[in-house]
């Protein structure tokens, strides 16, 4: 009697690299039109105060246009063994091995992907056992195709998840609590910077006037 031999299980096929781009907020020509109009208005107005007011109207589209230009290189890159978070204003991308990812979830109304991950720490001097890893939280930029990115990343994380009791999966409630705390810290920093802006403007104006008076003094001396 012939018995079928069990098929040999080959190596798990690794998915190809993928990149999920940042969601675009709109064409840049709109910001260019507003900037050009504000610059032309500032040149035509006779009063210095009105010119400054016209230039202030150009600040929001300038910030938005700069963010859109930086956002074109930002997104989520999925490599063979790690994910790479590319933020618009970050000097270096954040690279996280799939085996260190503790949890994934859609985050905020914008299509962002929130995640928790472990950062291994070396043992202290004179000790053999490594210290417990640190738990960190991060979030992507708004992604153009969040469902596809989340499904792809979850599949890669499940394939690479280690059997390490020091790096267990994180419950969704704990993940969201950590992401909310991270958002609160970042929002507090932005509010502090915003509230300190008038003081910085006053200091800059005083320094500019002092430099102008010193220059006039030396030129007329």
CA distance 100 to 98: 5
In the predicted model, what is the mean pLDDT of residues 183-211?
A: 79
Lowest mean pLDDT among 7-21, 42-56, 177-191: 42-56
Q: pTM of whole model > 0.75? A: no
The per-residue pLDDT for 137 is: 96
Return the structure tokens found at 134: 């640190």
pLDDT at 220 over 90: no
pLDDT at 47 over 70: no
The per-residue pLDDT for 146 is: 93
The per-residue pLDDT for 113 is: 94
The per-residue pLDDT for 1 is: 45
CA distance 156 to 115: 14
Lowest mean pLDDT among 76-80, 82-86, 121-125: 121-125
pLDDT at 82 over 90: yes
Q: What is the DSSP string of 138-198?
A: EEPPPBTTHHHHHHHHHHHHHHH----TTSPPPPHHHHHHHHHHHHHHHHHHHHHHHHHHH
**Are 94 and 82 within 8 A, CB to CB?**
no
Which pLDDT band, with edges at 50, 70 and 90, does 217 fall under?
A: low
Task: Strand 131-139: give its sheet, edge to edge.
Answer: 101-107, 112-121, 131-139
Quick: pLDDT tens for 157-173.
998 877 678 888 999 99
Quick: pLDDT tens for 103-114.
999 988 888 999
**3-class DSSP state of 21:** strand
In the predicted model, what is the mean pLDDT of residues 7-12?
A: 51
Taking the alpha carbons of 187, 75, 115, 117 in that order, is the dihedral positive or negative?
negative
pLDDT at 193 over 50: yes
Which pLDDT band, with edges at 50, 70 and 90, does 18 fall under?
A: very high
Lowest mean pLDDT among 24-28, 60-64, 173-177: 24-28
For the chain, what percentages of helix, strand and coil (3-state, to nearest 5) are there?
Answer: 50, 20, 30
pLDDT at 11 over 70: no
The per-residue pLDDT for 15 is: 81
**3-class DSSP state of 18:** strand
The per-residue pLDDT for 54 is: 65
Overall fold of domain 18-121+130-170? PH-domain like (2.30.29)
The domain spans of the chain are 18-121+130-170, 171-221
Q: What are residue 169's phi and psi, to 5 degrees?
A: -60, 145
| pLDDT cut 90: percent of the chain above it | 32
């Amino acid at each position: 009697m012939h018995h079928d031999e069990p098929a040999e299980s080959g190596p798990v096929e690794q998915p190809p690299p993928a990149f999920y781009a940042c969601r675009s907020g709109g064409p840049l020509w709109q910001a260019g039109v507003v900037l050009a109009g504000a610059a032309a208005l500032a040149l035509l107005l006779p009063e210095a105060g009105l010119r400054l007011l016209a230039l202030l109207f150009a600040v929001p589209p300038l910030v938005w246009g700069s963010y859109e230009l930086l956002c074109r290189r930002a997104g989520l890159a999925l490599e063979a063994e790690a994910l790479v978070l590319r933020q618009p204003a970050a000097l270096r991308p954040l690279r996280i091995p799939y085996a260190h990812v503790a949890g994934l979830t859609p985050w905020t109304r914008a299509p962002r992907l929130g995640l928790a991950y472990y950062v291994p720490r070396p043992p202290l001097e004179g000790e053999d056992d490594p210290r417990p890893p640190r738990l960190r939280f991060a979030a992507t930029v708004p992604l153009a195709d969040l469902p596809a990115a989340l499904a792809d990343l979850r599949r890669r994380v499940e394939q690479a998840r280690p059997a390490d009791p020091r790096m267990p999966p994180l419950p969704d409630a704990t993940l969201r609590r950590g992401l909310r705390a991270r958002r609160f810290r970042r929002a507090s920093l932005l509010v502090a910077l915003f509230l300190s802006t008038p003081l910085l403007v006053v200091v800059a104006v005083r320094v500019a006037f002092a430099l102008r008076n010193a220059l006039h003094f030396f030129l007329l001396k």
